[in-house]
Amino acid sequence: MWLLNSSIGRKLIMSISGLFLILFLLFHLSMNVAAVFSGEAYNTICGLLGSNWYAIVGTLVLAAGVVVHFVYAVILTLQNRKARGNDRYALNARPKGVEWASQNMFVLGLIVILFMILHFTQFWYNMMFAELAGIHGDIHPQDGAAFINFYFQGNIVNTVLYLIWFVALWFHLTHGFWSAIHTIGWNNTVWLSRWECISKWVATIICGLFAVITVIFYLNGVGA
């Protein structure tokens, strides 16, 4: 099947999974915006999700999207290295017109994955997983606002780690979004440069707002 075996097919799968993950980031961002204005509203959203079947299905779909995106990134990276052969060992300057993010997408992706693991251990494990497993600590699994306060308010180390994550994510998205659109085929001469500009705006809005909200959590936490 060409979709799985050809280079173009693999790039298409990685592009579609990447766009899906961007949609999830927008959803997650909307939840964080709600938390800035009202901890009660944020907890209401957490309660609506919780361990309900649709939230579990959504989590499994999200996990599948991350795995597919990462696996195909590994396959394409190894494929590209094999195609370059001994040239990959040459200490050449970055080719003209090739962005730094483009050359370091895999490394940036690894950083994003590592911090996703950190995020999951701090929130998903203590919320959805704890509710499913019947684990109840000092904070109730549906009290998302309390978890935000615990991990961010006055916690400079965790805050800085997340800000580093958002920087890596910004670089990954600026090239990834544009590249995905290009692979899908929306790359005529009129829209090619426009999509490149749009990708930077999308990455800046997502990562910029995440960063600002994180700083707000550090300074003020989540109120009632």
pLDDT band at 85 (very low <50, low <70, confident <90, very high): low
Residue type, 218: Y
pLDDT at 96 over 60: no
Pick the CATH number of 2-220 from 1.20.1300, 3.30.70, 2.60.40, 1.10.10: 1.20.1300
Distance from C-alpha of 212 to C-alpha of 209, rounded to nearest angstrom: 5
DSSP string for residues in 31-47: HHHHHHH-HHHHHHHHH
Residues 6+ apart with CB under 8 A from 83: none
pLDDT band at 88 (very low <50, low <70, confident <90, very high): very low
Summary mean pLDDT of the chain: 86
pLDDT at 216: 94
pLDDT at 43: 93
* Separation in Å, CA 119 to CA 10, 14, 30: 28, 23, 17
